[in-house]
Amino acid sequence: MIRAKRLVASCKIHGSEQGIRKYFVTTAEDRPLVVQFCGHNPSEIAEAAKLVRSMCDAIDINLGCPQKCAKDEKFGSFLLDEPKIIEDIFKALQSANLSVPVFAKIRISQTLSETMNIVRLLEKYGVSLITVHGRRKEREFHTKPADLDIIKQIKQLATVPIIC
């Protein structure tokens, strides 16, 4: 997971080749390769995705991280309550015409219907695959088993592949 903000800033300071290398190093054998970004600024995320698109097979956006840093910096699962920001991020990625697919990783919300609202939003903006973490964002960590029933229902309703 790379903070989009840091990658973009690094490339402004050091130029794209060196700027990318500070946060992202890979090898020719490391394929297929998905680069995951986090952030809440749509244009920064689209810019970051453009910087690495030729070096990977897909871009993934982290809407699942429940940690304190995600709360403080407003990314990961803390965006699940902000559908407008999610919409703007995926709209910006769609407009960026990346030529690689865009994926998203989410956590389940309180209800199936709330979770499906996010899934539908992601589908609307062309997301090709969604990873669903079967625990809620309220820092459930390992205190509860993953809710495999809700994942099964999401898989039945979604139009894109769902992995968990």
Ligand X SMILES: Cc1cc2nc3c(=O)[nH]c(=O)nc-3n(C[C@H](O)[C@H](O)[C@H](O)COP(=O)(O)O)c2cc1C
| C-alpha distances in Å from residue 6, one per residue of 1, 13, 63, 86, 95 | 11, 11, 18, 19, 22
Is position 65 annotated as part of the catalytic site?
A: yes
- Least distance in Å: CB of 128 to ligand X? 16
Rounded to 10 degrees, the C-alpha dihedral 83/88/91/93 comes to -110
CA–CA separation, 40 and 52 (whole Å): 18
Radius of gyration of the chain (CA): 16
Tell me the torsion sign for CA atoms 114, 91, 93, 15.
negative
Q: What does the binding site for ligand X look like in residue numbers (CB under 6 A)? A: 1, 36, 62, 64, 105, 133, 135, 141-142
Catalytic residue selected from 11, 38, 65, 69: 65
Nearer to ligand X, 75 or 125 (CB): 75
Cβ at position 134, least distance to ligand X in Å: 8
Taking the complex as a whole, how short is the minimal distance between the CB of residue 1 and ligand X, in angstroms?
3
Active site positions, annotated:
65
